[in-house]
Structures are given as structure tokens and as C-alpha cells.
Amino acid sequence: MLTKPFILLLGFICLSSEILFAQSLGYNNNRVAISADGNNQADKHPEAQWPRADPDDWGGTPAALAMIAKLGLQDRLVHFSYNNFIAAPPHTSETNYMADGVKGAIKRWNFDATRFFDVSEDNATAITHLAEALKKSTATDPLYFIHMGPSEFFYRAVKEVVDDGHSEALAHVYVISHSGYNDNHLRRKAHHTMKETIALSGNRIKYKKIKDQNACDNPSKLWCSNTDFAPYHWMRDHSDPDINWLYSRTLFHPQNKGADISDAGMVWYLLLGDEDGNLQKFQKFIGDGITPLPECKDTHLIGVKHFEMLQIGPFVTPYKDHSRNAVAIDAVVYKNEFAATQKVFKGITDHYNITLTTLTEEDGESTYRLKVDGKLIGEFQNPETARDMAPYSRTFKNVPVKTGDIIQIESNTHSNGKIPEDDAYAYARGRWRSISFECTPDRSGEEKKGLVVFEAERFELKGAWKLGKDTEKASGGAFIYYDGPNTYQQVDMDHVISYTFKIKTPGNYTIKWMMRQPKGERGTDKGNDIWILLADNLGYAKELQLKHFEKYYGRSDDNFTLNGVAEIHGAGHGWLTGRFPKAGAYTLHIGGRSHGLQIDRFLLFKGMTIDEVKSILIE
């Protein structure tokens, strides 16, 4: 995922003298986890005091995510769960406003969808995911937990950490709350309070309760004005359509009391150190809107040009061999020793395929190590060669690199005992020429080098489309599936979902998907199809223009499988192609057709074969 350097935060100091950074909890661009309620499906259990949650989270959650996105800290949000009433039913007959808000924020601001969980759909997976984030907490990598719902969900995650023997990690977990209701409300008599959760941690968890962020009778203070939407009208009238969307998320309260995003005040406090945030400060903070995250760009560094030859720790100092355009080690002085060179990475935080190009040598096979921010990424030895000074490359796939990381290349002198020199044998000098950082294929829906890949969970789900989890076989650990009835005669628009992707290079793109049939139907002709349509009638199959929804199908085993064929009514079967006449945004519509059909991602490509696409996916 892309992110902006933390130094970007400094720029917001100047927005208002009232905006300060969090100091009391020591927050410094650390990991954040959030769990909210917002359940709209009635919980009719006799022990449930209230059947539904307070709708304030329907607007508060998008606002909180907007605060994080404004500072470019999307990658710092490692867990977000919602509808977190334990034992409450999933949303089968009521609108899932929390899911709509979460998915809208993911789409607009490029959050990682695999870190978001609807607890009403699958509380066990969500609990375990939070527990894993808690376990990773250390003094240098603490976790800050924003408490937006009852305590039972958090209690169960803490219990999993304790039961797994990782209690010490909880000493580096900070909880922020503003509500005695959330701390103490029990949906069931057997549930637990925040006080009991902290006790379970051995009192290791650090707890901070800030002032209640509600002041609904005074719209100039804090985050709530109940039925008075005037303090929110700046969102409605903003030039950024994503901020207009924020306003729209406040309009669903059944009693028209949606002018309340009070839980977002806890995120404001964490990021800005201000317990007295309000709508006026939020307006200044948002300013002209939320800037899209910068795009990843390939980077190529030449050793003798971009690296300085300095003494680094215990390593010997290399030199620049300009005659061979390579970094090298003086083998006359240093035998069987390693040298190292370093460079601060100034590119965008993202995942890269990193290629190190070396020179093979007849008199030895030097070993090379690549480290990123002190972590060993990989090590290899040059192959034997009969051609001296031949370039040799080794690529390390899908490596996460952050802006400011230290790139360190190490190599050694080595003799293979084959080339006599004086009274001994000659040594290879650990020569290398360059290191390249190639952006990995974008899975967010923007074409790069003739390939578009986007995760299916980026569709804004509605109707009977639901989010599923499979950390072993689904890309990113998530997929979508159709949970409605078979609809073979015609498309049901209530179950049509859409996603807009970007094409930079016009042309004809083959359209495929990674799909899986439901258990019990894999390898058959059941549970294997959808309705599909490219907006503006840009889809073609068998040279026929597709002007309405057509069947699109595949077949799988237990794995998500790359395939996809269109079946045109009255004309047979053919591969689906999108013909995009110019660079721009295009929209794909899909509708539910077969119950249980699962989709991991869609792929569009041109100028490459399907086997080449498969190899990219494997990489």
C-alpha cells in the first residue's frame, strides 16, 4: 500500500494554532486498530438492552477514516472491525450502513480492504485478526486501540493473546475511550467490561479515557449537533466530492439525529492531541480536500553514480571501478571480506520487485546480500562463468520498501582457486553495477504496463453480495461471494455491483477473473457464473458488441482459478474484451447469477498472453 512520509504531518501544524500533535500517549506514526459497533440488524435476544446500536457510527466511521487518510496514514491502520456486537445477527433484512460507509472509504482513500471486518458476519476471524495485531506490539512498535463499541469484542481478542502466551505484548497496547457506555455495556450477562479486559491483561494495557466527545446541545463544541446540520454544511458544499460523500453518511439516522460523529473525536485526539476537536477545526483540517496518495514509480540506481563509498560498521570500504562501471573491493588488500554500500530510498512507500545486477568473474564467485532497513531480503552467489565481467541479475519479488529506508548492498571477495596469481590465486572483487526497484502490478484498479488488477472486494457491495475471508488461498486474504438465489433468466439490478478502474494506455484488453465455485459444486457447471457488462457498451466477445448483461463463467477446483468466458445469447462462447478508446476511468458492472459463486479479483491485460499473466500472479 502507498503512504506519504510522516514528515507530511508537520505541515498540518500550520493549519490552526488549535491543532497540536498527540504527546501524552506518545503516538508517533504507530500502528492503529479500531473497533466500532453501528449494528442496524435488530438483536432480539432477551439480554440485549438495546436491539440496535447508536447510529452515530454510521457517520463517525467515515469521518474517522477521512482523518487518517488526510494525513496519508492508511498503512498505519492495521485493523478495523465494525458491527461489533458479539452474538448479534448479520444484516439480512436491514441496511448495513456500517459496511456501506467502510467500503466507501476504502474505495475513495485506498485503505487495505483485507484489514476490515464485519463482526456480524464472522466474529471469530475478526477477533483473531485483532489478536494477531496485539501480539506484534513491542516497545518500538506499540499498538493504539480506538474503542468505539462494547468491550466484549476487545476482551475476546485480548483473551486470545493471553491464551497464546503473548501477554507481555499487551504492555505495549494503548486504549483510547471516551464513553462509559462502551466501557461497561454488556450485550449478554456473560460479557465483560473494559475494566475486566485490562485485568485479564495483568493490568498491562495502558488505558486513556478522554472527555466525552458528545456535546449535542452546543453545536460549537465537539462533534455532535443532533438534528442541526448547519455545522456540517461545509461538507455538503465542499469542492471535493469525497467530502460531499462524508456529509451523505450522516443522513440515515431514523430520527434525523445524524449530525453526530462523536466517536471520530477519539481518532482526532490520537492524531492531533486535542480533546476539544469540533466541526470548525475539522473543516480547517480538511482544507481543500483529501489528496490522493502518490503513485509508485520505478527507480534505477547506478552504483558508481548514486552510492557513496563510505566506511559502514564492520565492513571494508569498496571503491568505484569506473572502467567497468561497477562498485568493487580491493582484493589485494581484502581477501574473503565483505564490503557494504548504503543509500536512502527516496521513492514512494510500496512493494517492489528489486533487481541487483552484478558482474561475474572468472577467478571467483562472490556472494551478495540485499538488506532493506536492516532486514535481510535475500542472499545469492554469482554463478561460475567462462566469460569474465558478464552481467548477472537476481530479482527479489514483492519487497515492501518505505520512503527513508536504508538500502544496503553487501558483497565479498572470493577465490575459486582456478586462476593463478603470483604465489596464490586471483580473487573476484564482488563487483555490482546497479539496483532497480520495479513497482509491482497495481491491484487497486489502475493500469500499469498493459495490466490492470483489482481485488473484488473493491466493489461497493450491496444486495446479496458479501465479503468472505480465506487467508490461505485468496489474494489479500479476502474475496466476495454471491449469497442470493440463482437468477438465470435475467439480471436482478438489486444485486448488481460496480467498480471503476483506470486505463492509461488505450487499446483492447482481455478480461479475466480469479474465481472459485462453492464447496460441493467445484469442477461442475453449477455455482460458476455471473452477469457482466462494461459501461458504455465497450465489451466485445466473438467480435460482437455487448450492449446488455451477458453470462460470464468459469470452473475451479479448491483454488481460485484464472479463467473467464462470455456466453452471448444466441451466438455462443468467447473471450471477453474491453475496447478502451482513450485513457480514463471505465466501469465494470457484475450481477449475481449463481448462488455461492466466489470472486477473488479481476484482471485486464493487453500485449501479453494468459500464461504471462499467470506468471506475474505467481510472482
Q: What is the pLDDT of residues 144-201, one digit of tens each?
A: 999 999 999 999 999 999 999 999 999 999 999 998 888 998 999 999 999 999 999 9
- Helix or strand (DSSP H, E) at 126: helix 123-135
C-alpha cell at 254: 431514523
pLDDT above 70: residue 447: no
| More confident: 143 or 450 | 143
For the cut 50, the answer to whether the pLDDT of residue 386 exceeds it is yes
Q: Which residue has the cell 460549537?
A: 220
Rg (alpha carbons) of the chain, rounded to whole number:
28
Averaged pLDDT for residues 421-449: 84
Residue 7 has pLDDT above 70, yes or no: no
Q: How confident is the model at residue 570 (pLDDT cuts 50, 70, 90)?
A: confident
Mean pLDDT of 541-569: 94
Helix (DSSP H) and strand (DSSP E) numbers for the chain: 12, 35
Give residue 455's pLDDT: 87
Q: Do residues 518 and 604 touch, judged by C-beta distance below 8 A? A: no
Highest mean pLDDT, choosing among 259-263, 418-422, 427-431, 437-441:
427-431
Residue 12 in this model has a pLDDT that exceeds 80 = no
Among candidates 365, 362, 309, which has minimal Cα distance to 339?
309
Q: What is the pLDDT of residue 11?
A: 43
Nearest Cα neighbor of 126 from 138, 114, 136, 135 is 114
Number of Cβ atoms within 10 Å of the Cβ of 156: 20
Closest CA to 309 of 296, 301, 300, 318: 318
pLDDT for residue 445 = 61
What's the distance, CA 102 to chain centroid?
A: 13
Q: What is the pLDDT of residues 389-406, one digit of tens each?
A: 999 999 998 788 888 899
Sign of the four-CA dihedral 20, 24, 28, 31: negative
Looking at per-residue confidence, does 442 or 207 come out higher?
207
Topology of the domain covering 299-439: Jelly Rolls (2.60.120)
Share the mean pLDDT of the chain: 90
Instruction: Say which CATH topology domain 451-618 has.
Output: Jelly Rolls (2.60.120)
| Cell (9 digits) for 181 | 457506555
> How many Å apart are CA 560 and CA 471, to the nearest integer?
12
Report the pLDDT value the prediction gives residue 196, as an integer from 0 to 100.
97
Q: How far is CA 338 from the centre of its chain?
A: 37
Report the pLDDT value the prediction gives residue 441, as an integer from 0 to 100: 62
pLDDT in tens, 254-310: 877 777 898 999 999 999 999 999 999 999 999 999 987 777 789 999 999 999 999
Stretch 128-148: mean pLDDT, rounded? 95
Q: Are 281 and 18 in contact (CB under 8 A)?
A: yes
Measured CA to CA, the distance from residue 606 to residue 506 in angstroms comes to: 10
pLDDT exceeds 80 at position 444 = no
For residue 74, pLDDT over 70 is answered with: yes
pLDDT value for 485: 95
| Distances, alpha carbon 525 to alpha carbons 31, 521, 530, 561, 602, in Å | 45, 8, 12, 15, 21
pLDDT-derived band at 326 (thresholds 50, 70, 90) equals: very high
Residue 530 DSSP class: E
**590 pLDDT above the threshold of 90:** yes
At 25, the pLDDT band (50, 70, 90 cuts) reads confident
Q: CA triplet 374, 377, 383: central angle to 5 degrees?
A: 125
Residues 6 or more apart whose CB falls under 8 angstroms from that of 207 comprise: 174, 175, 177, 194, 198
User: Is residue 6 over pLDDT 60?
Assistant: no
Nearest to 602 by CA among 446, 493, 465: 446
The pLDDT assigned to 398 comes to 79
Domain parsing of the chain, residue ranges: 20-213, 299-439, 451-618
510 vs 559, 586, 601, 605, 613, CA distance in Å? 22, 14, 14, 5, 11
Q: What is the pLDDT of residues 78-100, one digit of tens each?
A: 999 999 999 999 998 999 999 99
* % of the chain surpassing 90 pLDDT: 68
